[in-house]
Amino acid sequence: MQLQLPDPGLDALMASRALQNLIANDIRHNSGWIPFSRFMELALYAPGLGYYSGGAAKLGREGDFTTAPEMSPLFGQTLARVVADLIGRTTPQIMEFGAGTGKLARDILNELSAMGVAVHRYSIVELSGELRARQQETLRGFPQVTWLDQFPAVFSGVVLGNEVLDAMPVQLVTKTAHGWREHGIGLSPRGFVYRDRPCDASLLAQIPHPELLPEGYLTEVHPIALGFVRTLADMLRAGFDYTGHGGAALLIDYGFPAHEYYLPQRTEGTLMCHYRHHAHADPFYMPGLQDITAHVDFTAVAQTAVANGLDVLTYTSQAAFLIDAGIADILQRTPASDRLRYLPRSNEVQKLTSPAEMGELFKVIALGTRVELPPQFARNDRSHRL
């Protein structure tokens, strides 16, 4: 079925064709086949051409999707309450991965300042040159903000990642009549095509009871995201060893625990593409001009964190986390009698917390070493479901 999506401009079309040629050459240089994770890596991060490393607007009304910080400052203001408590238990440092336009950092720093909480350093790890430029514009009044190209070896404080794990390249596996196969990418006269190869047993380790899944089942596994969690654990453990202070990471994303992720009925996985606020399932459409994402397997994230020396401080829905953090109190700062200001903010809270909107699809997992969350977060903890 042909996709009915808005046409790109000529410059964007030429950039996409250049990226398609780059990917095709990579396939040729690798004997005609690459894993899907390599295709996704190039489509999103190839220097100057990938979706996140090129120049196209990505977030907000003019972009391809909207995140919670873009939707409402209440999101960052509420997270700031949790951050304030955590840096009081660790050190006054924050590190954010994939900071978007910088609005989350701005909202958190403004709220912390209003609370009288000083942040000595707010580090942003950002791979996109276009987004880094937007962040620098948004945050030019905050001298404590610095930018990094990669993980530091040592860190204590609070790490934030909103919609970061979902954009990490995944590998695809499928169950055939001859067993599990890895679903990779090859070339045909018409362009990119899926081609299967024997599947390494390590790729199936993330899937609970793969033998029970039906023939034809296609799903994602997440070795790169789990590598990120291992590196995060190394960084926070080293931070404690070096400073004597613990650290915590708040990761917010859409996803499921493994027993829901790998339901027998979810036969086509969770891979999704976003192009100008249209969602579809064709990753080969206009590489470099669309986002490609997959839902997060939070069980695998938690297991990897624990195996590498971190504690799971909580796992819960975005709605429960924001409510326990006090989003209703922040909303009440605007008098209900001021309808012009109150009603839009009330609608924003509804979108952030409603099960029909972002409230249930998005989850929060908090990981840490030598630190605890405030006690109110225990009442909605779902760690037992992981």
pLDDT at 9: 82
Predicted pLDDT of residue 53: 85
pLDDT average, residue stretch 338-363: 96
Give the mean pLDDT of 353-381.
97
Section 291-318 average pLDDT = 98
Instruction: Provide the CB-side half-sphere exposure for 91 (13 A, CA).
Output: 21
In the predicted structure, residue 304 carries a pLDDT above the cut 90: yes
Is residue 322's pLDDT more than 70? yes
- pLDDT value at residue 300: 97
- Which stretches of the chain are assigned E, i.e. beta strand? 34-35, 93-97, 121-125, 145-148, 157-162, 171-176, 179-188, 191-198, 218-221, 247-256, 272-275, 278-280, 291-293, 296-297, 311-317, 362-369
What's the pTM value of the predicted model, to 2 decimals?
Answer: 0.95
- Is-contact 158 93, C-beta < 8 A? yes
Give the tokens for residue 77: 């203001």
Q: How confident is the model at residue 56 (pLDDT cuts 50, 70, 90)?
A: low
In tens, the pLDDT along 247-299 reads 999 999 999 999 999 999 999 999 999 988 789 999 999 999 999 999 999 99
Over the chain, what is the mean pLDDT?
A: 94
Confidence band, pLDDT 50/70/90 cuts, at residue 57: low
What residues does each domain of the chain span? 43-168+221-256+293-385
In this predicted model, what pLDDT tens digit does every residue of 189-241 receive, in sequence order? 999 999 999 999 999 999 999 999 999 999 999 999 999 999 999 999 999 99
43-168+221-256+293-385 CATH: 3.40.50.12710
Q: Which of 3-7, 205-209, 318-322 has the lowest mean pLDDT?
A: 3-7
How do residues 88-128 score in pLDDT, each as one tens digit?
999 999 999 989 999 999 999 999 999 999 999 999 999 88
Residue entry with tokens 């979706």: 51
